[in-house]
Amino acid sequence: MHVQTPNPWYREPWPWLLMIMPLTAVIAGSITLWLAASTADGLVVGDYYKAGLAINQVIERDRWARQHGVRARIERAGDRLYLHLGADSPMAPRVVSARFVHPTHQGHDRTILFLPDAAAGIGTYSAAMPSLLDGKWHVQIEEPQGKWRLTGVVYTPFKGVATFGG
């Protein structure tokens, strides 16, 4: 009579099948821990109470822009951005700022100062084209004194014309 000797445990498929799920959970947990430790939590506002109180001022600036017919158009020409500013009443701020805010990566936000461009005409401002990630950007165009603000969305790579307000 011939007695069959059992295979060692590592040659059997069942222990390996039983170990796959816990091993997968350990690997996924390690990746999650690494992502949590290596990326910034940029979307959390430190002083949320003051940020909440400031919303009334922001709403008032948006309302003022609507009431006075403030409108803007941004277009790209080569490595420059041109901002054409218009309103129902004459206005010509010395500088106009535009904040390009990335929806998920605060570290990529850019603020651009548009300076008057006499060669392009009255109400036209220009600035160098910033390097922006491809995708969706929230844009806030405002006067530095805080009288008005326009908001909108731009998709990059920026090729055409984007209009705000009006």
Question: Two tokens at 41?
Answer: 């939590």
Q: What residues have CB less than 8 Å from 160, skipping those under 6 apart? A: 75, 76
Sketch the domain layout of the chain as residue ranges. 9-38, 48-165
Q: Where are the alpha helices (DSSP H) in the chain?
A: 13-38, 48-67
Neighbours of 149 (CB within 10 A): 23
Q: What residues have CB less than 8 Å from 157, skipping those under 6 apart? A: 134
The residue assigned the tokens 């690494």 is 34
User: According to the model, what pLDDT value does residue 161 have?
Assistant: 85
User: According to the model, what pLDDT value does residue 134 have?
Assistant: 85
111-124: average pLDDT = 83
Burial of 13 (0-12, 13-18, 19+ CB in 10 A): exposed
Higher pLDDT, 40 or 135: 135
Mean per-residue pLDDT of the chain: 84
Largest CA distance in the chain: 108
Q: Where are the alpha helices (DSSP H) in 39-151?
A: 48-67
Q: Rounded to a whole number, what is the distance in angstroms from the first to the last CA of the chain?
A: 97
Q: Check pLDDT > 80 for residue 23.
A: yes
Higher pLDDT, 7 or 47: 7
Most confidently predicted of 18-27, 33-42, 100-109:
18-27
Of 26-30, 57-61, 85-89, 139-143, where does mean pLDDT reach its minimum? 85-89
**28, 61, 154 from 146: Cα distances, Å:** 47, 7, 22
What kind of architecture, by CATH, is found in domain 48-165?
Sandwich (2.60)
Q: Check pLDDT > 90 for residue 26.
A: yes
